[in-house]
Amino acid sequence: MPPRLRARTTWNLLVFILAICLAAVPRPGQAAPIGQSNCPPPITWREIRNGNFVVIHSAETGDSVLFAQGVELNYLPALETSYQNFGEVFAAELDLPVSIRIYPDLIYFYCLNPGALTVSPATTHTHVAAREIALIRGNIYGNLANWEARAVNALQAELAILFAEKASAGNAPPGLIAGFGGYAEDPAQSFGWRYAESGLGDVPTLDLQTLWESRAAYEDPAAELQATSAAAYLIDRYGWLDFQAFLAALTDTGAYAQALQDVYGVGLAQIEAGWRSYFPLYVSERWQVNVFHNYDLSAIETLLAAGAYADAAGQLEEAVMVIAVFESGSKLGQAQALAAVAQTGREAGALTGQARQALQNAEYQNAIALANEAESLYRQIEDERRLDELAEYRVWAQEVLDLRAEAAALQESRGIFNLIALRRLQVIGQRLGELGDAEGVRQVEASLGVLTQSQRLLIQVTIFVVIFMVLGLTLMLFFFLRKPAAPEGRLS
């Protein structure tokens, strides 16, 4: 048997035996801080340093040492991975090392942390300030089977809370932080028993202000689940990056109502109304959706199906980033494939807009080229909804180019001597005006001006020639009539 596996097995066995022995020993069920005068003797602490964490435990008894070694062996590897993951999505680091302090019981916890949050008498874990995860060893031994099943989730939740505290500079209200911690757990492992313990139906029993501002989420399972659902609503409805921005906004305002308005553009009343509508859906099915454990891409797929590529691309930037950290395999591949479609669709939409703008700017060759490029991209993602629009742009631009070319050819071919050509130019100018080609209309008008002047000159020349010919014929007739008749003519 490998040494680590043997050590793990030995630890579990010893802890089980200790749990049986300790179960019969009365332990205080303190639910609130006690006076310092009632505190037990000071503890001599020992440390086990491992990576970014240090396990701090009392050295008085062998079971406390054994328990600390078990925490290091069984939980720190997963917690180290979680630290790296949360560090990436928060783009931050905690003050290191992060402490995991093992308190013998709640009496010691409250005595050593007089300003700590009040927790339920049976709590097994909580946090202190911004860099300590607290484990209550006596309560853990009291329900060892549950702890073994929930320990990794619990430690990950507390670690996420420390990151949220850091992100908000400690200004986030306690219920908001507790709800985020619940959200950070893997819901596939925790929702079932949490919902059962809460005794809730599908209607919230507390308002959002009470949930966030009170410490009820640390003491009452129903309040904890509701606080978790509120965090789920904000992240599910608005996205992880906006939730992160909300926490960051608390560092400036210190007031969550103002931060909600600044980040989400709505006030507390609107957020609460949305959350209350969301809660029945959350307890029925949306609890399964979680950005850290089961990122939901269905809403993004709906956006893509509707052609909202820019919106989908924005959401997929977040999705790919988070999924790449917390998940892998098919889900990441799916997100990356959707991101490629969204990017192609966004580029095609941008090119379509540029083609339309090119038409308005009378850049007709460019409009045709842009429309062709946009159509090629749309065909890559099998989206034919805007192909007719692009075809219309091409036909429009090509007609203008053809009319301009025809007008230039008429002018160059000296159509000034052809009244039909003159009339055709007038028709071309009218059509270019209908197509919005102001420059083409000006060119045709200039040509018509030249041609009209040439026509006038032609008419004047024609009239002069006719007059000259008439005068010539008249003079010829006049001289012919005045010429004396021949003698032979006179004799007759």
Distances (CA, A) of 421 to 407, 430, 444, 463, 477: 9, 14, 12, 22, 40
Find where tokens 């999924």 sit.
Answer: 323
Check residue 16 and give its pLDDT. Answer: 42
The model's pLDDT over 14-29, given as tens digits with 9 standing for 90+, comes to 444 444 344 334 343 3
User: Which residue from 222, 223, 217, 239 is spatially nearest to 289, judged by alpha carbons?
Assistant: 239
Q: Provide the CA 441 distance to its chain's centre, in angstroms.
A: 47
Q: What is the pLDDT of residue 127?
A: 86
Note whether 312 and 304 are within 8 A (CB): yes
Cβ atoms of 319 and 297 within 8 Å: the answer is yes
pTM of the model: 0.76
pLDDT at 121: 86
pLDDT number for residue 390: 95
The β-bridge partners of 294 are 290
Around Cβ 233, how many Cβ atoms within 10 Å?
A: 24
pLDDT in tens, 163-173: 999 999 989 99
Tokens standing for residue 378: 């749309």
In this predicted structure, what is the pLDDT of residue 486? 57
- Residue written as token pair 């009539």: 481
Q: Contact, 230 vs 275, CB < 8 A?
A: yes
Quick check: helix, strand or coil at residue 95? coil
Angstrom distance (rounded) from CA 78 to CA 38: 38
Q: What is the pLDDT of residue 114?
A: 84
Do the beta carbons of residue 298 and residue 338 sit within 8 Å? no
Q: Give me the pLDDT at residue 482, please.
A: 63
Helix (H, G, I), strand (E, B) or coil at 159: helix
* Joined tokens for residue 203: 């209607």
Non-local (6+) Cβ contacts of 371 within 8 A are 351, 352, 355, 390, 391, 393, 394, 397
Ranges assigned E (strand) in 137-241: none
Question: Residue length, the chain?
Answer: 492
Separation between Cα atoms, residue 109 and residue 135, nearest integer Å: 9
Q: Would you say the C-alpha torsion 44, 50, 55, 59 has a positive or negative sign?
A: negative
Among positive and negative, which fits the CA dihedral 243, 246, 250, 255? negative
The distance of Cα 385 from the centroid of its chain, to the nearest Å, equals 24
What are the phi and psi torsion angles at 53 (to 5°)?
-125, 155
DSSP assignment string, 269-319: HHHHHHHHHHHHHHHHTGGG-BTTTB---HHHHHHHHTT-HHHHHHHHHHH
Task: Indicate the DSSP class of residue 415.
Answer: G
> Of 214, 156, 152, which Cα lies nearest the Cα of 180?
156
pLDDT value of residue 463: 59
Tokens of 483: 């010429």
53 DSSP β-pair partners: 50, 98
Helix (H, G, I), strand (E, B) or coil at 116: coil
Q: Which of 306, 194, 298, 181 is nearest to 236 (CA)?
A: 298
Model pLDDT, residue 389? 94
Residue type, 282: Y
One-letter identity of residue 402: D
Is residue 303 within 8 Å of residue 311, measured between CB atoms?
yes
Rounded to an integer, what distance in angstroms lies between the CA atom of residue 110 and that of residue 431? 87
The predicted pLDDT at position 467 comes to 62
Q: What is the pLDDT of residue 43?
A: 85
Q: What is the pLDDT of residue 24?
A: 37
Which segments in the chain show pLDDT lower than 50?
1, 3-7, 9-11, 13-33, 35, 415-416, 457-458, 461, 491
Find the helix or strand (DSSP H, E) in which 53 lies.
strand 53-58
444/435 Cα distance (integer angstroms)? 14
